[in-house]
Chains A and B, each alone.
Chain A
Amino acid sequence: MGAQEEFSEYVGSRWPRLVRSAVLLGCPAHEAEDVVQTALTRCLVHWSKVRRADDRDAYVHRVLVNTFTSARRRRWTGERPVEDLPELGGADETVAVDVADAVQRSLDRLSQDQRIAVVLRYYAHLDEQQMATVLGVAPGTVKSRLSRALKVLADDPDLSELRGTS
């Protein structure tokens, strides 16, 4: 299989989850696809490296995290004035919105390093060794970031009061 076919197959199977990972990392939903597109394009340019990588998913996540953090540094994070506020109509999704808001607010309370660790471990389901490779840190650092992050989340009143969760 050629590099292009291999890449296309990989993107076909991973695209939705990578975009969702970018959102959980803190990327606004409308920018998440752009960030993932940039990261995957970089991977394609260096596809031989991706192929050689011991763990392809870990390599791609490393590029995604680096792309996200670079984009975040460049991006102006202030409020954008708009003439008309967006409509938020539709079905009653109160419970789902409550959960999403609470989780997003809780993730926002984490440091960037902690948030990345949480997403990689509990959404991308990378193990600690893979995370150490992705983040370029020692496994012990991964453990301590996760441990601190979990403590912050455990103490977060927004999460503890969620309806439908324990």
Chain B
Amino acid sequence: MSEHDLPDLLDRVADRVAPGPPPLDAMLAGARHTRRRRTTTVLAAAAVMAVVVGGSALVFNGVGEGARPTPGTGAPTPASIVPDGYRLVGAGTAAIAVPEEWGTNRTQCGVPKRNTVVVDQISIPACGTTRPQDVQSVEITEGKPRFDFAPDETTEVDGETAQLQTTRCENQSLGGDDTPRLLCSRTTRFPDLGVSFRAESSSQPEALAREQVEEMLAHVRVLDDKVAVPGHEAISTTVSEGAGPLYVERLREAGLAAVVVTERRPRIQFGHILHINPAPGTILDPGDVVTVTYVR
């Protein structure tokens, strides 16, 4: 058998298969059903409304059409996307449902101390601290994958290509403690979206930790008609001043509207971001408003 024989051999095998007619109606109906399960919000025109308000008072009246003031918890999301008792957190259009009782960024020096989702945490002060046993976490990152990311499989989530690094369990010195402890991790990355979800568990025994990281990542979704509030750390850690206006631009690119509040802080440089509401990672409808407070 040579390489030249192969196309003919494969054709001969394939020709023995006699497919029926394509079930076009079933495919069209299936696609309609899938679309109905998604929210019907149409992508609103991405308009940034830079409403500069001196002090902390917010005025939503008259900020323009098409923008909806957003409650601090984000817009409601269909139950089909979020199971009962869970909330969505994400980056871009990729999101993960995490238990409602989990906190956000419950970390010390980057080390999760309680069950938490970790979002937009780039600048981490160095200190010696340990990850307690029985702590679960999901870290959401954008851009390049972690240095040790090595995909084992390629699959698909909601029509988007996803790379999976299957579960790894390693003994690690989890911080300043010299006692090695087992930490299991599993990662799903969307290469085209540049978003990674890394689940970790320090539960015992190992079988439980493995089960937990798999369960966490089973809740990853790609949402066609939702978008996460972008993080600001990537901007704040790279520019010495003017981060606020740059972040507003990032909101616009994400399809969200912005209300800007500025505050006087004599000793802090212009543009330093003081507060973002709703917080980065919150899932919103395109066109929703995010309030950014920065130093003027």
Residues of A within 8 A of B27 (CB): 7, 11, 37, 40-41, 44
Structural contact, A69 and B13, CB atoms closer than 8 A: no
Given that A33-B19, A41-B34, A62-B161 are contacting pairs, would A20 and B156 also be in contact in the complex, using a CB cutoff of 8 Å? no
B125 within 8 A of A: no
- Residue B6 contacts which of A23, A100, A104, A122 (CB distance < 8 angstroms)? A122
Residues of B within 8 A of A111 (CB): none
Size category, A interface? 35 or more
- Residue-wise interface mask of B (21-63) relative to A, using a CB-CB cutoff of 8 A (1 in contact, 0 not): 1111011101100110000000000000000000000000000
- Residue A165 contacts which of B5, B19, B35 (CB distance < 8 angstroms)? B5
Main secondary structure of the interface of A (DSSP, over half): helix
A154 within 8 A of B: yes
- Residue A119 contacts which of B8, B10, B191 (CB distance < 8 angstroms)? B10
Structural contact, A154 and B26, CB atoms closer than 8 A: no
- Residue B2 contacts which of A33, A135, A154 (CB distance < 8 angstroms)? A154
Residues of A within 8 A of B154 (CB): 66, 69, 135-136
Q: How far is the CA of A19 from the CA of B15 in the complex (A)?
A: 11
CB under 8 Å from chain B, chain A span 59-100: 62-63, 66-67, 69-70, 73, 96, 99-100
Given that A135-B154, A153-B6 are contacting pairs, would A8 and B159 also be in contact in the complex, using a CB cutoff of 8 Å? no
Q: How far is the CA of A103 from the CA of B15 in the complex (A)?
A: 13
A126 to chain B, nearest CB (A): 12
- Residue A123 contacts which of B2, B3, B11, B28 (CB distance < 8 angstroms)? B11
Given that A44-B27, A165-B9 are contacting pairs, would A136 and B17 also be in contact in the complex, using a CB cutoff of 8 Å? no
- Residue B9 contacts which of A32, A103, A154 (CB distance < 8 angstroms)? A103
Given that A42-B156, A66-B154, A66-B161 are contacting pairs, would A156 and B1 also be in contact in the complex, using a CB cutoff of 8 Å? yes
Structural contact, A122 and B10, CB atoms closer than 8 A: yes
Given A12-B22, A42-B156, A123-B7, 20 other A-B residues pairs in contact with their CB atoms under 8 A: A7-B28, A11-B27, A15-B19, A20-B15, A20-B17, A37-B26, A37-B27, A45-B159, A70-B155, A73-B155, A100-B12, A100-B13, A103-B9, A125-B7, A136-B154, A136-B163, A153-B1, A156-B1, A162-B1, A165-B1
